Amino acid sequence: MIDIALLGTGGMMPLPERFLTSLLVRKRGRMMLIDSGEGTQVTMKMLGWGFKTIDLICYTHFHADHISGLPGLLLTIGNSDRTEPLTIAGPEGVKKIAEGLRLIAPELPFAINYIELKEKYENINISEFDLKAMQVDHRISCYGYSLDIPRAGKFDPQKAMELGIPKELWSVLQKGETAEYNGQKYTCDTVLGAPRKGIKLCYCTDTRPTADMPDFFRDADLLVYEGLYGDDEKLEKAVKHKHSVYREAANIAKAADVKELWLTHFSPAMTDPEEFLSVAADIFPNTVVGTDRLTKTIKFEER
Amino acid sequence: MIDIALLGTGGMMPLPERFLTSLLVRKRGRMMLIDSGEGTQVTMKMLGWGFKTIDLICYTHFHADHISGLPGLLLTIGNSDRTEPLTIAGPEGVKKIAEGLRLIAPELPFAINYIELKEKYENINISEFDLKAMQVDHRISCYGYSLDIPRAGKFDPQKAMELGIPKELWSVLQKGETAEYNGQKYTCDTVLGAPRKGIKLCYCTDTRPTADMPDFFRDADLLVYEGLYGDDEKLEKAVKHKHSVYREAANIAKAADVKELWLTHFSPAMTDPEEFLSVAADIFPNTVVGTDRLTKTIKFEER
């Protein structure tokens, strides 16, 4: 199970009624954040999930509206009594950029580790979070992220009994792990059915659509994707600045066969993002026009 | 005449209902800003005075709550079509700090000039603004500012006529300047009375009180000064972190014989800053507990 909060929905600059786009994910009490523009810590405060358990901050890219809130956020995490190290991941150069911003927040009670993304596809495994990153197509290096939570097959107690597996080991094997008892090794494959559908969450903003997106987002439970403009007439402007419009987001959601699409990263010029919902929903019906602090819980399917 | 807006009143971190402390001053259509923490551009947007005419940004010091909003603010000023150079002043190191923050806002349509304050007392003269800066007493180098607008003496038309000064020159002499006509030079001192009281605005935050403050703030029309805590019991904490409490702000306002005191830079722990007004007002009656976007216009006195 994961909890998701879209902390803001704005692009380019923070507005009085719209925080900048970022996403907070909570899993088994730990949190990860994607992007932190100016004001992200304020909307996080309004959300109320706390700051102390953020183990990972991923950046899509280094435009100010996606990272300028970093120094203040780090100080506020520091004020939450965190002492465990925190990991910051992002495109190549993330350490240089973050350390430049940190000139105004030099003293923190925790260490920072950096992960620099260089390849087209990369993997990140920190705390509770196994992520895939894919480089997308913006004016500077930019990554989309996919959080995948696999789920082991169903445990078969009948079979476990037939095989004489000690009951003490059942819960371990149930999790898909290997167990040992009195020198004998037991593997889970003997008592587990085929792997069941897990949870998949994808996040991608500030990019043109790319050919590999449908595969990368395939079957996601939720895709959070940018819709800088709702109006098709703004497509040329979106292309010029390497962004996407509602229609393109919906086409990608449809091609990737995701379950749900959340639009975000709205242009400050778009005063009512909901106005253009039908542009996307006509293509991909399960589209939601994002709002600040929209939350969702995704559970494993009953099976 | 100047217009003043206290853009925020918070210290340490921005809160959902309280922006970080900064001050905007407008004079003859030009603006200067003191400090810009995370979110300052948002409260500026709410204020509605625009962004394009900011000629000078002064920083008191380089703690994140006073400067973290710089990159986003610069981008928003850039979006306002400004192309004229902008000056950033602050304690020594301001260029290094600002350029570190600007790694995420590298492309701006205007140049930036820097003024590094090194001495105990410094003068800044940019655009419409003649400022004095005084180093105060915080954990890192920190400056208080005083904006002084002198006013020439009253023009005596009777005397100007007696002296046979051509009427074309009157308006120039009236401003306290020197004029030339048909090769003859006229100075204003012959037709102006004694200099009249001008306007004085002082701003000082994140400091312990110092012995030279009363002289520096002397007779100000308005002193904006920090009151991190209202409760006297928090004095020890304020001393430890080199801040001031309400009582100290009021004592300084009284000693400097200013006309009005605005308290600001409230601790996030102080949910109702107004609650402690009497602590200051019992000492200095004309105390105002600051609120976000509190504004005031100060005009030359009628005389």
**Are B69 and A38 an interchain contact pair (Cβ–Cβ within 8 Å)?**
yes
DSSP output for A67-88? HTTHHHHHHHHHHTT--S-EEE
A83 & A167 share domain: no
Domain membership of residue A207 (yes or no) is yes
Instruction: Tell me how far apart the alpha carbons of residues B212 and A164 are, in angstroms, rounded to a whole number.
Output: 86
A23 & A73 share domain: yes
A111 & A236 share domain: yes
Question: Which residues does chain B have with pLDDT short of 50?
Answer: none
Supply the pLDDT for residue A180: 86
Identify the CATH number of the domain in which residue A293 sits. 3.60.15.10
Domain membership of residue A76 (yes or no) is yes
pLDDT tens column, A66-92: 999 999 999 999 999 999 999 999 999
Instruction: Tell me how far apart the alpha carbons of residues B134 and A244 are, in angstroms, rounded to a whole number.
Output: 50
Contacts of B248 (CB under 8 A, 6+ apart): B209, B238
Supply the pLDDT for residue A249: 98
A141 & A14 share domain: yes
Number of domains in chain B: 1
Q: Catalytic: B65?
A: yes
Dihedral, CA atoms, A44, A47, A51, A54, nearest 10 degrees?
Answer: -90
Interface of B with A (CB under 8 A): 12-16, 37-39, 41-42, 45-46, 62-65, 67-69, 71-72, 75-76, 79, 96-97, 99-101, 103-105
Domain membership of residue B173 (yes or no) is no
Distance, CA of B122 to chain centre: 14
Supply the pLDDT for residue B302: 77
Q: Which of B103, B108, B139, B141 to mutate to test the interface with A (most CBs of A within 10 A)?
A: B103
Instruction: Tell me how far apart the alpha carbons of residues A2 and A103 are, in angstroms, rounded to a whole number.
Output: 34
Of A190, A211, A241, the residue at which a domain comes to its end is A190
In angstroms, the first-to-last Cα distance of chain A is: 14
Supply the pLDDT for residue B150: 92
pLDDT tens column, B132-188: 999 999 999 999 999 999 998 888 999 999 988 988 888 888 888 888 888 888 888
For the beta carbon of residue B240, count every other beta carbon within 10 angstroms: 9
Full pLDDT tens readout for chain A, 303 residues: 999 999 999 999 999 999 999 999 999 999 999 999 999 999 999 999 999 999 999 999 999 999 999 999 999 999 999 999 999 999 999 999 999 999 999 999 999 999 999 999 999 999 999 999 999 999 999 999 999 999 988 889 999 999 889 888 888 888 888 888 888 888 888 899 888 999 999 999 999 999 999 999 999 999 999 999 999 999 999 999 999 999 999 999 999 999 999 999 999 999 999 999 999 999 999 999 999 999 999 999 876
A143 & A181 share domain: no
Instruction: Tell me how far apart the alpha carbons of residues B39 and A55 are, in angstroms, rounded to a whole number.
Output: 25
Pick the catalytic residue from A35, A65, A221, A292.
A65
Domain membership of residue B27 (yes or no) is yes
Is A213 in contact with A252 (CB distance < 8 Å)? Answer: yes
A172 & A284 share domain: no
Supply the pLDDT for residue B21: 98
Domain membership of residue A303 (yes or no) is no
User: Which of B16, B39, B46 lies nearest to residue A38, judging by beta carbons?
Assistant: B39
The domain in which residue B7 lies consists of 2-152+195-298
**Are A42 and B16 an interchain contact pair (Cβ–Cβ within 8 Å)?**
yes
**Are B45 and A103 an interchain contact pair (Cβ–Cβ within 8 Å)?**
no
Domain membership of residue B88 (yes or no) is yes
pTM: 0.93
User: Which of B45, B69, B97 lies nearest to residue A16, judging by beta carbons?
Assistant: B45
A25 & A51 share domain: yes
Q: Give the C-alpha distances (Å, rounded to integers) separating A197 from A153, A200, B109.
A: 9, 9, 51
**Are B39 and A37 an interchain contact pair (Cβ–Cβ within 8 Å)?**
no
For the beta carbon of residue B60, count every other beta carbon within 10 angstroms: 29
Instruction: Tell me how far apart the alpha carbons of residues A280 and A276 are, in angstroms, rounded to a whole number.
Output: 7
Supply the pLDDT for residue A303: 63
Interface of A with B (CB under 8 A): 12-16, 37-39, 41-42, 45-46, 62-65, 67-69, 71-72, 75-76, 79, 96-97, 99-101, 103-105
Share of residues in chain B with pLDDT > 90 (%):
84
Q: Give the C-alpha distances (Å, rounded to integers) separating B221 from A224, B169, B214, B285, B296.
A: 52, 32, 13, 14, 11
Domain membership of residue A20 (yes or no) is yes
Domain membership of residue A229 (yes or no) is yes
